[in-house]
Structure 1
Amino acid sequence: MLRAFLRTEAGSTTVLLGATVLALLWANSPWAGTYEAFWHTPMGLSFGDAAFSLDLRHWVNDGLMTVFFFLIGLEVSYEVRLGQLRDRRLIAVPAVAALGGMLIPAGLYLLLNFGGPGAVGWGVPIATDTAFVLGVLAVVGARCPDPLRAFLLTLAIVDDVLAIMIIAIFYTASISVPALVTAAALLAAIVLLRWLKIWRAPAYILLGFGLWVATLESGIHPTLVGIALGILVFVYAPTDQKLLLAGEAVQEFTSEPSAQAAREATRRVQRAVSVNERLQLRLHPWSSYVIVPIFALANAGVRLDGETLRAAATSPVAWGVALGLVLGKFVGISLGTWLPLRFGWGILPGNLVWGQLLGGAAVSGIGFTVALFIVELAFEDPGLHDSAKIGILAGSLLSALLGWIIFRMAWDRGGVCAPPDAEPSEDLPTLLTSPVGPDDHVRGPADARVTIVEYGDFECPYCGRLHPILEELRRKNPDVRHVFRHMPLRTLHPRAVAAAIVSEAAADQGRFWEMHDILYDNQRFLTDADLEHYAAELDVRSWSEVPRHVARIGRDEESGQASGVRGTPTLFLNGVRYEGGLDLDSISRAVAELRQSS
């Protein structure tokens, strides 16, 4: 579910960006007057003397975007019940980070606008645009591992929920009590249907539309309806009975194909999966490729001529939005990540280092969909309206650029995983304290002219990047041998120790290097179930020796600590710490120099 969500959102970024560019071109073309005229075209429904009408922009913002927030509700419901939000320790860090990423931007904005006409726009820089953020992470590629995407997705979910609460509380102009009572009654009816387990789509569609109209008339923004309905949609894990029935139906269709058997197999397979997941699968493409781009087309158009740019350059609204997104988000999310880690309130998913976390904090300043949404609610003055939009565009572009720079620096400068609390100023030994012995895992000739000792971690992304480089180095240099020693960063990579234990179990059967290669080739899949699968592939079963394996790993860690290893990967070439780049050319040059000097 998570991978499918990420693929859909990241893939739709190009469409969303195209719609944004088209809106800007339209608003700055010779036909700029048609932009606002078109989106103010009224459209409505009439039933006899009763009529309900909105302009096109409000149909998009209040109507279509309800589907977008409905999907957020579905995702929240799924993650809380079956996904990552079940683990409170995994929720704590991104939740506090999301809170920090809202408070600091709002505070920066108010510092520049408090008491002025733009103060009401403090909510504009608080929200992160998930689609754009994941699109930037897709461009970042290998520098951003899946755990960071999962961390930012959890952060974005919390961010969206808090943003919707802010919209409902602070951006509701007036309340109509009769309409609000009607909305509450319709919502109670939907809850009753769910409690009675009546799953008739027409009933939910009719009640849902009525709830949307009543909420709109009440003065509360109807997007709140979307997230509430999404949370109410039933979600469950497939039961063994449903899976069995689905399997039997598919087997029956395979043995005796017919239209009736196909229909029954389809029905039973669908019933094995919750309504929540089926709706996400159907609606995500529509939301990502149609609804959100239409929203961008309807709202991103702003005149970028000399007059508006000069006004924005001196506008505290534009500066407040831009600084809130670029600086506020970065500081707020970074501080909100550090605090729970510092006080032990939660943990991070594996494969994350501070360079990646800071890069994620920077790109989280890309605020677009919800930011534009709040602009429409907050400002009636056209000048403030345009300045806020320019601030959003400038802040989002700068956040994307800052994030890309940080990811590039984190990857290219050092390329080493180190715990967040490592001591960078420590004077470290340069010599290997424990020479290579019979207990080591060695790949290569015993009389090799060059010995490379690697202290590695099976979950470290930089070790994963180094793995094929060392293989290529050995292939080109038969007189080089590779020694692997364990250095699992326990506070940073929660699955590294288990992976190391499995590799030692394989070593008992003479298959260490086979398991070593499997673990690095499947580095993103190191759950207990994954490790059991890899062990079964190699017929590894010596689990009674786990205490001995743990002690063996501990000896590697002790030798690494004594040799000054504080991060992974760390290399020693012929017993001397290697300080060069972790690329094939740099290591090859170092090997050639050692070969010449020996």
Structure 2
Amino acid sequence: MSGQLSGPLRRFLATESGSALLLVGAAVVALAWANSPWSASYDALWGTVVSVSAGDAAFEMDLGHWINDGLMAVFFFVIGLEVRRDLAVGELTRRRRVVLPVVAGVGGMVVPALLYLLIAPSGEAARGWGVVIGTDTAFLLGALALVGPATSTQLRVFLLTLTVVDDIVAVTVIGVVYSGTLHVPALVLAGAGVLALVALDRWGVWRTWPYALTALAVWAATIASGLHASIAGMVAGLLIPAFAPRREEVEGAALRFRAFRQSPLAEVGRSAQAALARAVPVNERMQIVLHPWTGYVIVPLFALANAGVDLRGGLLGEALTSPVTWGVAVGLVAGKFVGIGGSALLGARLRLGAFPQGVGPGQVLGGAALSGIGFTVSLLIIGLAFDSAELQDEATVGVLLAVVLAIALGWVVFRLAAVLHGETSAGLPMVLCRPVDKDRDHLLGPADAPLTLVEYADFECPFCARATGVAKEVREHFGDDLRYVLRHLPLPDVHPHAELAAAAAEAAGAQGRFWEMHDLLFAHPEQLELEDLAGYAGHLELDVEAFLHDVDEQHHAERIREDVADAEASGARGTPTFFIGMRRHVGPYDARTLIAELDAARAAGGTAPATRDER
């Protein structure tokens, strides 16, 4: 478990925010091109027919459809990958924290759709209600970086969780409401491909290519069946396996690479490469490859192909008086603001859930305002909802208008939240809330050492520093210049024996053998039943009866709870989490990285926080 945001989630957020600039640029180019003397070439380009054939079989679509039905399927596939990962090992595993974003997400779809239908209730225009249900995640995160708090990590995670609901429902609406006549044999083939993906997961297939080929077959069959390709992308992504790193596979990869270092032969290298691939889930390997392509190429290309509306000839004036234009704009901007913001505030008041630590109600309302940026999904649905080119253009103007209005509203709400309620940051704390106390904390090294490394650990965690040798390597590097401090952060939801192991360590500590028990617990993370702990106590020649009495009576439970509370207040969310002095370390926690961070801190003036009696 990571002590802060997981690496995949950090990469996801960074890619989404960065791609927003390209998205805006592509939309501006599309508008300029469509309103230039060369506008005919714009239409002609996307109408160019492209065919892929093999023998007598041919797959033919114009370039616009290759982007909307082909490349955008990859976009939804990546969304499906992220949702599956979050359900397996990410934010969506914490069910209590998911309730509020889900409630807000549902409100953020129902209210916009109702507002749209109030403004455009009849005829072909009424088919456009689906245009206002989605939120453009990339555009949303990019706008948040522009007008939101300087630190907005927690708010971004809340909004990202919320948009998962948007994405799933939007794809379902596309597949059910906006697909054409169904071709049953092709639909059966698509279903068979889905079952094949399930089978690959069940059989534990770890290579990427069987999943990729099967997903491609599901996409082709879905297109032939009459369903929109987006549903194939999302479903296939949801079925790509994701799991937490497994200790035995990580150690196996390390052994293979050690063998390659000793014997650098091609066959040994291939074996090491395969072991490394096996240790990393297929889901994450696919995300690493595909997500930059979707963020930096596919989505901007989609904007270039779909945002070009020719506003000449009075179209802009007509659009500004059209119920479709205002249904889209009002549905997205007001609907998302009221639906998401109102549902979130009401859900929090009814105690259905709580806002993430560091996020205030005003910031939630600001995020709700920015959620009115529908763009990518909205433009996709416009082409499916309306047959009339005039209605398509009017709806597109509404989407573009909503982008401007949503960003402006978000800016105002965030400023008001900062001025009226002091909500200037929406990130986790970065500072150790309780200084090191040499009379209370468990220390290795001189109490007055100039450098301090604090670790929040879980004895059942396979990747904590003692388990991986990180702490030992760092301590050997710095010697008496470093004091290493261990605090408890048991995670009973994922490690059922963690609290019992922490109590055992403290019971041994009461007899002066904390670090010896600490080493034994990390040496046997899969043997932490009470009888195992009693055996360790006997091995250390402790008073076993007193040891078991301390554990049974929970004599040290309050101390462990204090450590957990300190971890929460310091921004630690999992194990291992490290603090270099008073500052929380974010990112990789291998020995080399921690040594470099400690060296940098020493160069900047030292890291040892004042101990409690020094304060």
Q: What's the TM-score, normalizing by structure 1? A: 0.71
Task: Name which of 47, 50, 61 aligns with 1:43.
Answer: 50
Q: Distance in 1 between matches of 2:17 and 2:102?
A: 22
In structure 1, which of residues 61, 66, 72 is the aligned counterpart of residue 68 of structure 2? 61
2:15 counterpart of 1:8: yes
TM superposition shift of 1:503: 4.1
Aligned to 1:126: 133
Residue of structure 1 in register with 2:59 after alignment? 52
Could you tell me which runs of 5 or more consecutive residues in structure 2 were left unpaired when the two chains were aligned. Answer: 1-7, 472-481, 489-505, 507-554, 566-615
Work out the CA distance in 1 between the residues paired with 2:426 and 2:239: 39
Return the offset for 1:255: 4.6
Q: Distance in 1 between matches of 2:380 and 2:457?
A: 40
**Matching of residue 78 in structure 1 with residue 85 in structure 2:** yes
- Structure 2: distance between partners of 1:126 and 1:112: 15
Match of 1:331 among 331, 338, 356: 338
Aligned with 1:250: secondary structure? Answer: helix
Q: Does 1:243 align with 2:250?
A: yes
- Cα distance in 1 for residues equivalent to 2:456 and 2:339: 31
Report the equivalent of 1:270.
277
For 1:332, give the aligned amino acid.
Answer: G
Given that 2:100 and 2:347 are in contact with CA atoms closer than 8 Å, whether structure 1 keeps it comes out as: yes
SS at match of 2:36: coil
After superposition, the Cα gap between the structure-2 partners of 1:314 and 1:546, relative to the gap in structure 1 and judged at 3 Å, is same
Alignment of 1:518-537 (within 5 A): none
Shift of 1:229: 0.9
SS of equivalent to 2:176: helix
C-alpha distance in structure 2 between counterparts of 1:102 and 1:33, whole Å: 36
Q: CA deviation at 1:408?
A: 2.5
| Distance across 2 between alignment mates of 1:142 and 1:399 | 16
Q: 2:153, 2:426 within 8 Å by CA — same for their partners in 1?
A: no
* Deviation of 1:246 (Å): 1.6
1:85-234 map, 5 Å = 85-140=92-147, 142-198=149-205, 203-234=210-241
In the TM superposition, what is the alpha-carbon distance from 1:344 to its structure 2 partner?
A: 2.0
Cα distance in 2 for residues equivalent to 1:537 and 1:108: 61
- Aligned mates of 2:167, 2:124 — CA distance in 1: 26
Shift of the alpha carbon at 1:547? 5.0
Report matched runs for 1:551-590 at 5 Å. Answer: none
Aligned partner of 1:32 among 27, 39, 43: 39
Does the 8 A contact of 2:134 with 2:378 survive in 1? Answer: yes
Q: CA deviation at 1:140?
A: 3.8
- Partner of 1:118, secondary structure, is helix
Q: How far apart in 1 are the matches of 2:45 and 2:559? A: 73
Q: State the distance in 2 between where 1:151 and 1:526 align.
A: 24
| Contact persistence 1:105–1:125 (CA under 8 A) | yes
Deviation of 1:541 after TM superposition, in Å, equals 6.8
Deviation string, structure 1 residues 341-364 (Cα, Å, up to 9, x no partner):
122222332111112111111111
Q: Hey, what's the Cα distance between the residues in 2 that align with 1:146 and 1:252?
A: 41
Does the CA contact (< 8 Å) of 1:108 and 1:324 recur in 2? yes
Q: What is the CA distance between 1:45 and its match in structure 2? A: 2.6
Task: Name which of structure 1's ranges 110-119 and 246-255 shifts more when overlaid on structure 2.
Answer: 246-255
Matched, 1:405 2:406: no
**Structure-2 change in CA distance of 1:504 and 1:83 (3 Å):** same
- What residue identity is the alignment partner of 1:16? L
Distance 1:169 1:144, change over 3 A: farther
User: Could you say which residue in structure 2 is the equivalent of 1:20?
Assistant: 27
- Taking structure 1 as reference, are residues 22 and 541 closer, same or farther at Cα in structure 2, changes over 3 Å only? closer
Q: Does the 8 Å contact 1:504/1:549 carry over to 2? A: no
Where does residue 371 of structure 2 map in the other structure? 364
User: What is residue 578 of structure 1 aligned with on the other side?
Assistant: none
* Partner Cα distance (2:125, 2:213) in 1: 40
Q: Judge conservation of contact 1:74–1:231 (CA < 8 Å) in 2.
A: yes
CA distance in 2, matches of 1:49, 1:247: 49
Which letter does structure 2 place at the counterpart of 1:71? V
Q: CA deviation at 1:57?
A: 0.6
Would the aligned equivalents of 1:506 and 1:538 in 2 still touch at CA under 8 Å? no
Contact 2:362 2:423 survives alignment (8 Å): no
Conservation of the 8 A alpha-carbon contact between 2:175 and 2:227: yes
C-alpha spacing 1:409/1:165, structure 2 compared with 1 (3 Å) = same
Q: Which runs of 5 or more structure 1 residues have no equivalent in the other structure?
A: 418-458, 468-498, 555-598
SS in 1 for 2:356: coil
The separation in 1 between residues aligned to 2:379 and 2:264, in whole angstroms, is: 52
- In structure 2, what residue type is equivalent to 1:131? A
Deviation at 1:216, TM superposition (A): 1.3
Relative to structure 1, the CA distance from residue 160 to residue 258 in structure 2 (aligned partners, 3 Å threshold; closer, same or farther) is same
- Alpha-carbon distance in structure 2 between the residues aligned to 1:463 and 1:220: 46
**C-alpha displacement at 1:254, in angstroms?**
4.1
Q: Distance in 2 between matches of 1:256 and 1:549?
A: 47
Change (3 A) 1:243 1:53: same
CA contact (8 A) 1:365 1:399 kept: yes
Distance 1:88 1:245, change over 3 A: same
Contact in 2 for aligned 1:506/1:540 (Cα 8 Å): no
Assess, with a 3 A threshold, how the Cα gap between structure 1 residues 506 and 374 changes in structure 2: closer, same or farther.
farther
Matched, 1:382 2:393: no
The Cα RMSD (Å) is 3.6
Is 1:392 equivalent to 2:399 in the alignment?
yes
SS of residue matched to 1:12: helix
Deviates more, 1:40-49 or 1:361-370: 40-49
Q: CA deviation at 1:183?
A: 2.1
- 1:484-503 matches, within 5 Å, as 500=433, 502-503=434-435
**Deviation per CA, 1:391-434, whole angstroms, max 9, x where unpaired?**
000101110121122222322445258xxxxxxxxxxxxxxxxx
Inter-CA distance 550–271: structure 2 relative to 1 (3 Å threshold): closer
Q: Name the CA distance, whole Å, in 2 between partners of 1:245 and 1:329.
A: 49
Judged with a 3 Å threshold, the aligned counterparts in structure 2 of structure 1 residues 355 and 541 are, in CA distance, closer, same or farther, namely closer
SS at structure 2 position matched to 1:153: helix
CA distance in 2, matches of 1:94, 1:339: 12
Give the alignment of 1:453-472 within 5 angstroms: none
Cα deviation for residue 549 of structure 1 reads 11
- Partners of 2:422 and 2:206 lie apart in 1 by 53
Aligned equivalent of 2:314, options 307, 311, 319? 307
Tell me whether 1:318 sits opposite 2:362 in the alignment: no
How many positions carry a matched residue from both structures?
Answer: 471
1:322-341 superposed Cα distances (whole Å, 9 cap, x missing partner): 01111100000012212321
Given residue 5 of structure 1, which amino acid in structure 2 is its aligned partner? F
The residue type equivalent to 1:364 in the other structure is S
2:169 maps to a residue whose letter is: L
The answer to whether the 8 Å contact 2:357/2:428 transfers is no
Deviates more, 1:211-220 or 1:390-399: 211-220
Aligned to 2:296: 289
Q: Describe the superposition over 1:244-270 as per-residue Cα deviations: whole angstroms up to 9, x where unpaired.
A: 112222333445555554443332222
Q: Distance in 1 between matches of 2:218 and 2:440?
A: 65
* Amino acid across the alignment from 2:28: V
TM-score relative to the length of structure 2: 0.69
Q: Distance in 1 between matches of 2:483 and 2:35?
A: 61
Shift of 1:505: 5.0
CA distance in 2, matches of 1:184, 1:254: 46
Cα displacement string for residues 124-168 of structure 1 (whole angstroms, at most 9, x for unaligned residues)? 111100001111122246434211111011111111001111111
Listed one character per residue, the Cα deviations across residues 141-199 of structure 1 (whole Å, up to 9, x for unaligned) are: 64342111110111111110011111112112322222222322333333334434455
1:168–1:224 Cα contact (<8 Å) kept: yes
**What are the superposed Cα offsets for residues 11-47 of structure 1, whole Å, 9 maximum, x if unpaired?**
1111111111111111011011111111111111334
In structure 2, what is the equivalent of residue 575 of structure 1?
none
